[in-house]
Amino acid sequence: MGKLMNSQAEALKAHKDSEGHVHDSFRDLPLQRLWIVLSFTTIFMFVEAIVGYWSGSLALLADAGHMLNDVFSISLAIMGIHIARGKSTAQRTFGFKRVEVFSALLNGVSLLVIAYFIIREAINRLQYIDSLQIMGPLVMGTAIVGLIINIIGMKLLQSASEESINVAGAYHHVVADMLGSIAALIAGIGIFLWDAMWLDLLASSFVALMVAKSGLMITKKAVIILLEAAPDDKEIEKILEELENIDGVVAVHDFHAWRVTDGLDVLTAHMRVDKNVNQDAVLEKSLQIAKDHGFSHSTFQLEFEKCDDAYDDCVPQD
């Protein structure tokens, strides 16, 4: 039973280490940068909406609508990070880290809704495209300013987007905005030079497709996490094979791998071992395999080989 206590102690130490790592990663998230992007986005959203309405450009109005969603997205990202920093409790052993996943899911769904309304308005405008009057130069100037702001926002959030699904949601909003500004700029040039009003509808439709693509990606990732599916960037079958090939291991069952949130992947398994095996060596090797494959928290339960039922509550003996 002493070996089991050692196993539990090792698991507890790994859990504490992973907790510290995760909390550090949350503290390192660029909240200040999110606030800067939020301020610029909010101000320009109103500018773009006013100019879009005044100039008659659906492309600008679509981008303004997307920016409204950006304001919502970045605000949720900031709120989600603050809530996710909450400490674990006896009732919430993982704290509030899942909050940012729910926030990302809401962001992804809202992107899909925005894309739907843009496409619907573009289709409606096709019915009276010959009578459209759009001020090309005003569209061009506004799009250039928007492009500059979006590039700055992208640079501020790019590195953090690789560490947090919540920040990634905000980052993809900004990327879609940048593409929308480029599309609006092209439309403005075409309207100014050739009176091609149809380019405005084409640009707005392009924005809608980019918005929908980002929405699908973020929504899919959030849903996979919430379903507690195995992380798709982990070689699950290879990990199971390596555990089964450890000297002294007879079989591995109750094997589970899932992602709580970005930066916190969890691996658990029950391992049937030979009677005379070095249990500390088996546990140490198992923990190392999990660590090598990027799992920040892992727990392994060693069971004595003579158990007849894989679900018997038995453990290795000294």
4 domain-assigned = no
Q: How sure is the predictor about 95, in pLDDT bands with cuts at 50, 70 and 90?
A: low
pLDDT at 215 over 90: no
From 226, 241, 275, give the residue that closes a domain.
Answer: 226
* 241 and 181 in a common domain: no
* 278 and 138 in a common domain: no
Averaged pLDDT of the chain: 82
pLDDT at 15 over 70: no
From 226, 245, 268, give the residue that closes a domain.
Answer: 226
Alpha-carbon distance 99 to 83, whole Å? Answer: 7
pTM over 0.75: no
* 204 and 56 in a common domain: yes
Q: How sure is the predictor about 139, in pLDDT bands with cuts at 50, 70 and 90?
A: very high
Q: How sure is the predictor about 33, in pLDDT bands with cuts at 50, 70 and 90?
A: confident
pLDDT in tens, 150-188: 999 999 888 877 777 767 877 887 887 888 899 999 999
* 297 and 178 in a common domain: no
Alpha-carbon distance 192 to 134, whole Å? Answer: 9
* 195 and 119 in a common domain: yes
* 155 and 38 in a common domain: yes
Q: Which of 169, 174, 171 lies closest to 45 in space, CA to CA?
A: 174
* 237 and 128 in a common domain: no
The range of the structural domain enclosing residue 127 comes to: 28-226
pLDDT at 308 over 80: no
Residue 213: the pLDDT is 87
Q: Cα separations (Å) of 292 from 145, 213, 239, 314? A: 46, 33, 10, 28
Residue 250: the pLDDT is 93
For a pLDDT cut of 90, what percent of the chain falls above it?
A: 46
* 156 and 65 in a common domain: yes
* 134 and 282 in a common domain: no
From 191, 206, 226, give the residue that closes a domain.
Answer: 226
CATH of the domain at 255: 3.30.70.1350
Alpha-carbon distance 278 to 124, whole Å? Answer: 73
